[in-house]
Each structure stands twice: as C-alpha cells, then as structure tokens.
Amino acid sequence: MANQYEFGDAFQRHSLAVLMRIPGGVLRYRSALDHTYYGSDGLRTIAETLFAHVDAHARLPQQPTLTEEVRDQVSDDDFQSVRRTLDRLYKEDVSDAQAVLLKLIEFGKQQALINAVVKSADMLDRGERELRPLFDEAALVGEDLLDIGVDYKAELEDRLARYRDPSIQAADVIRTGIPHLDAMLDGGLGRGEMGVVLAPPKRGKSTTLINFGFGALTSVHRYKVAHYSLEMSQDKVSARYDDRLMGDRVAYKKTDMERYVGGLAQRMRRAVRGQLFVKDYPTRGASVSKIRSHLSLLAARGFHPDLILVDYADIMKPERRLGEMRHEQAGIYEDLRQLAGEYNAALWTGSQAGRGALEKDIITIEDFAEAFEKAAIVDAAIAFCQTNDERIERRCRLFGAALRNQEDGRTVECEIQRDACRLRSLGLYDVAGTKMVVDGIDDKRETYAAPKVNKDATRNKTAKRLKDKAGLTRKKAGKKVYKKSAKKTGKKTTARRRSDRVTHKVQLEDDE
C-alpha cells in the first residue's frame, strides 16, 4: 500500500501538469479523478476548472482559455496566485507522462478513502451511523478502468465451451423452482441480476418469493439462500417454508401436530439440499448497507449466497435522502442490483402495485407504485395477477411484464395453495394466449412424493408414442399395437379387440 507521502504535494502538482497537457489523459482517467483529491486551494481550483471544461467539451483547453475560466472561479486577490501556479505547471517537464498516468488510479483510490474517513468523522459528530456507503464508494473508484471488458474474438473458445456444456450455462442462472416460469426466463434469473414480483397489497408477493427460495433450497445444485423480511418475523417466514415443504400434508398442522412434526423432519432430510438463512428487520429499518453488513457476517462463516430474497424493497430505508420518494425508491433498486453483482447472486424482491391494479386482469409495468424508473433498473419484472374468480378457484397468473433478456408478455398459469404457501405451474402461454409446449416438465407432484400409476393413461401414452415414432395416425397406431400383440400371443381376435379399445379411447379424447 502506498505510504502517506507518495501522493503528496509534489505528485499532485506534477500529475495536474500532465493532465493539463497530455491529450486524452483526463478523458481516460476521469472516473478516478476528483478536484477534492488535491490538497491546496490553488490546485483544487485548477483541477475543478480543468475537469469541468473537459466534461463539457471532451477536449483539453488551451492555456489562455483555462486561465480565463479560472479567473471566473476566484476573487481578484486570489487570481494572481493561481495564475502563477498555472504558468509553472505549463512549463514543467512532462516527459514521464505515461508513468504518471499509470499512477492515477492508485492516487484516486487513496484520496477517495482519505476523503471518506474525514467525512465519516463529521457524520459521527452529527449522530449518523450509516457510514458503509462512503467506504464502498471509495473502494469502487477506478475499478471500471481496471476491467478492460471482453475481447470478442480472442475469447471465442471460452464461449464455445459454454455453449457445448449445458451445465456451465445452468450455473449462470438460479432457477425459481416453478418450471414454466423457469422456461419463460430461459432457465431462471441470472447471477448478478435483479428480479421483482409486482403485486397488489396482500396478494402474493411473499408467497411467490418463498416459492423461489424453496425451489433453490431443494435444488440438486444445493443453492444457498439468504431471505430478508421487512414485513414478517423470521420465525413466521421459517414456518412458511415448513408449510411449503409439507405441501398437501400441511392440514396435519391443525388436526394432528405430531404427524405434522414427524413428516416435516422426514421431508427436511429428504428434500432440503441447500442452506437457508432468514433475517428480519423492522419496516423502514433496513438499508442495503445493513443487508450488506449481514452478508459479510455470513461470509465470515463460509456462507456465500446464490440467491438473495428481499421482502420487499419498497419498505426499505434509502441510503440517500433525495427529497422525492420516487427518486429514493429508484436509488434502493439501483443499490440492490449492485449488491447482486457484488455477491454474484440472483436477487429477487417485491414491489407493491398501485391501487388501480386491484381491478385489473393483467398488471403491467405501468402499475409500479411511486417510481416507474424501477422497471428500467430490474432485469425481470413478474406481475402476480389474480381476479376475484381466480382467487375463489385458487388460481393465479404470473405475467412477464418486463424481461430484459427474454420475450415479455407471456403468462404462466398457476395453482395457488395459500395454506401450504405453494405455487404450482400448470402451463405457459404466449402473447396471443396460445399454450406453449414445454418439454421436460412434470410438476404435478413434489419430487419426493411417489406418483400413482394410471393404467389407462399409460396405455394412451404407449399408443401416442408409437404414432409419433412411426408417423402414423392414432388409428394406425392402434393397429400397430394389435399386430405386435397378435404376433406375440397368437390370439388374433383378442388382440384386435384390445387395439380397438385403445383407438376408441384416443378418439373420444379428441372429441372432448
């Protein structure tokens, strides 16, 4: 680490002389520079004027222009002193300019940290305790200059390896555990991305987020989940996860508690593969910095989350007081998205829809309460839609209101069981309302429940599989069964009657 004299007055003066005279220097390193990093009043004035000119015109000013612009910033008594400093800077030898420029990122980081320490002392004197954002911001100074981005052609082989290996692609997303929603999201929400569940008050935000957490918790990938609640206590949230785990057997909670407890312990051992931490905060009592501090505490125990759930962002404490609530809300969403990137985790939160959404069949991004800007920040906005009739029928819809990387406007039809806190997807529909075929989805039962055998359904599937394989009609598929059976058994009449029954049943299903 640089010692306290490395970037003293001599370096500050010389670096400013380089920035004033080397074309492109300020533009290239602007994100690591601020006029407050300079110690003397004269250097700060020159730096502030220089940076303002480059920001406005994207080029260096000539000496006479900079001199006149500096004159506008200081009093007549101070101008002569600043002018003499300017003249000396324009006469300095800057043949070592490249070496100086390479030091600017380190200079900016150190000066930003010093400024944060000084400012934090003033904040403590005023009784303020939220100091973490100051130091986080200082740590990020110049980071964008160290990341050169992706070399498209040179890194082709890395991309090809990802395309060939589905497991690598799967590692980049965290599934929600709701199969048709995962299909709509092309696998799930990506690491470093932020999604939001938009719903009217008391309709389904918490239930949906708990299902997302449950899907990660029971995944074969053994995901780690951090769940933060600003509405319910951590004990109540944990109890909801218990109910979700029990599924249909949640009724035992009221009729036979011993059976509920025994079943819960058994399913916990069989189904829960990952790790979950639940933490509650008072409403408006948690900022993003507070959540970050808790995640740091978990990291010290070796817990690094794959999925972060925040229930919900609209009732969090803003880091910055910006006067208008909509600006503060947008700031919270920006900070949460940054948090997801820091931890390379998928982050889901909830948002309350406006009052008008209660009467709507489909909730859209126009229904974001307080701040429409939130829709531009998130990577996925899923609207929880439910009419009164659907509520009676225990159904709901998850509408893709805004998706950054996939086609939006599609809908997942779901069955909702509120006492078990369970969402079960029934189908995916495109923008026109046509049901889409999604391969590999069998979500009628939990993965750890033994399915019942339906002989009629098995026979129908056999006929259909033969038809698909041979390109035959259903009737011919039935004959195929007859011929194969007759040849095997030698009982032609019986085999023909059996094939007729299969064919007739399929035709009845088509008529229905």
CATH number at residue 127: 1.10.860.10
Question: Please, are residues 374 and 351 in contact by the beta-carbon 8 Å criterion?
Answer: yes
Please tell me whether residues 87 and 191 are part of one structural domain: no
CA pair distance 238, 210, nearest whole angstrom: 9
- Residues of the chain by 3-state class (helix, strand, coil), percent to 5: 55, 15, 30
pLDDT at 165: 77
Structural domains of the chain, count: 3
Average pLDDT of the residues in 430-448? 69
Please tell me whether residues 104 and 196 are part of one structural domain: no
pLDDT at 363: 87
End-of-domain residue from the set 117, 146, 175: 146
Percent of the chain topping pLDDT 90: 49
Count Cβ neighbours within 10 Å for each residue of 267-301 and write b for 16 or more, e otherwise. Answer: beeebeebbbbbbbbeeeebbbbbbbebbeebeee
Please tell me whether residues 284 and 197 are part of one structural domain: yes
**Please, what is the end-to-end C-alpha distance for the chain in angstroms?**
77
Listed range (187-196, 458-467, 502-511) with the worst mean pLDDT: 502-511
pLDDT at 211: 96
Specify if 246 maps to a domain: yes
Please tell me whether residues 351 and 488 are part of one structural domain: no
Q: Give me the chain's average pLDDT, please.
A: 82
Question: Please, are residues 73 and 42 in contact by the beta-carbon 8 Å criterion?
Answer: no
pLDDT at 466: 53
Assigned token pair, 33: 């520079």
What letter does residue 62 receive in the DSSP assignment?
P
Nearest to 178 by CA among 211, 223, 226: 211
pLDDT score of 470 more than 80: no
Average pLDDT of the residues in 338-353? 93
pLDDT higher for 150 or 57? Answer: 57
Long-range contact list for 69-72, CB < 8 A, 24+ apart?
70/45, 70/46
Please tell me whether residues 370 and 468 are part of one structural domain: no
- The band of 285, judged by pLDDT with boundaries at 50, 70 and 90, is confident
β-partners of residue 436 are 428
End-of-domain residue from the set 115, 146, 177: 146
pLDDT at 508: 31
pTM over 0.75: no
Angle, to 10 degrees, between the axis of helix 76-91 and the axis of helix 63-71?
160
440 φ, ψ (degrees, to nearest 5):
75, 15
pLDDT score of 487 more than 60: no
Listed range (130-134, 183-187, 465-469) with the worst mean pLDDT: 465-469
Please tell me whether residues 129 and 210 are part of one structural domain: no
pLDDT score of 159 more than 50: yes
pLDDT higher for 461 or 66? Answer: 66
H/E element, 86: helix 76-91
CA pair distance 154, 102, nearest whole angstrom: 25
Listed range (313-322, 366-375, 451-460) with the worst mean pLDDT: 451-460
pLDDT at 388: 87
Specify if 419 maps to a domain: no
CATH number of the domain that 296 lies in? 3.40.50.300
| R_g (Cα) of the chain, nearest Å | 32
Please tell me whether residues 266 and 319 are part of one structural domain: yes
Please tell me whether residues 104 and 211 are part of one structural domain: no
- 196: burial class by Cβ within 10 Å (0-12, 13-18, 19+)? buried
Specify if 438 maps to a domain: no
Please tell me whether residues 212 and 306 are part of one structural domain: yes
Specify if 119 maps to a domain: yes
E strand intervals along 243-339: 275-280, 307-311
Please tell me whether residues 191 and 142 are part of one structural domain: no
Please tell me whether residues 140 and 218 are part of one structural domain: no
Specify if 298 maps to a domain: yes
Count of CB atoms situated within 10 Å of the CB of 48: 17
pLDDT score of 398 more than 70: yes
Residue with tokens 């404490």: 317
Domain hosting 312: range is 186-386
Average pLDDT of the residues in 366-395? 86
